[in-house]
Amino acid sequence: MMQSISNKIYGYDEIFFQLRNMLKNEHLPNKILLSGPKGIGKYTFSVHFINYYLSLNEQLKYDDKNFLINEDNKSFKLMNNLLHPNFNLIALNNNKRIIEIDQIRNVIKYSQKNSFNDEKRFIIIDNIELLNNNASNALLKILEEPPENLFFFLIHDSSVKILDTIKSRSILFKKNF
């Protein structure tokens, strides 16, 4: 199950509209690095934006005027239970201090599968600064040439350094409050 998130986001209007317009014009970057201080809602924003896309054709779709997830939305329920076929989450495992290479290997396996209904697929990697060296290097391989319709949301605590090679392969969105 995903970590608990607010069903409403605040302060991300500009980034949301930028990404939404890029998505509509088929120019959404496939590697988005959200960087800013810990605890400002980068992860929550990522879940909201991905739910926006995944629920576009659903009855209880994302409310992009009020930045609100309908908790009865089918895609959100599947995402929340980590069961949505077009969504994958990599986060720090319980009692661990780093994201391990096995987790990134699972991302690579996921990336090689076909998407459900040929739709876009999304991967969130929360706390990308916690990747160990082996995991970082394995991730770089998939970031260099990601499959078509696979999009990464890489979430970074700006107070901690990440590999320059990860930064250079991503479109950076900085958020400060």
Rounded mean pLDDT, 156-162? 87
Q: What is the pLDDT of residue 125?
A: 96
Q: What is the pLDDT of residue 163?
A: 84
Instruction: Specify the residue for token string 């950076």.
Output: 172
Q: What is the pLDDT of residue 116?
A: 66
pLDDT band (50, 70, 90) for residue 118: confident
The Cβ of residue 15 has, within 10 Å, a number of other Cβ atoms equal to 18
Q: Which of 35, 83, 28 is nearest to 53 (CA)?
A: 28
Indicate if the pLDDT at residue 87 is higher than 90.
Answer: yes
Rounded mean pLDDT, 87-108? 91
Q: Which two tokens stand for residue 115?
A: 């998407």
Q: What is the pLDDT of residue 55?
A: 96
Contact present, 11 and 177 (Cβ < 8 Å): yes
Q: Give percent above pLDDT 70 in the chain.
A: 98
- Please give the mean pLDDT across all residues of the chain: 91
Q: What is the pLDDT of residues 24-58, one digit of tens each?
A: 999 999 999 999 999 999 999 999 999 999 999 99
Indicate if the pLDDT at residue 164 is higher than 90.
Answer: no
Tell me the pTM. 0.93
Q: What is the pLDDT of residue 95?
A: 85
Q: Give the helix, strand, coil percentages of the chain, each rounded to 5.
A: 40, 20, 45
Q: Pinpoint the alpha helices (H) of the chain.
A: 13-24, 42-54, 74-80, 101-112, 133-144, 164-168
Distance CA 60, CA 34 (A): 27
Distance CA 84, CA 125 (A): 16
The Cβ of residue 64 has, within 10 Å, a number of other Cβ atoms equal to 15
Distance CA 177, CA 175 (A): 7
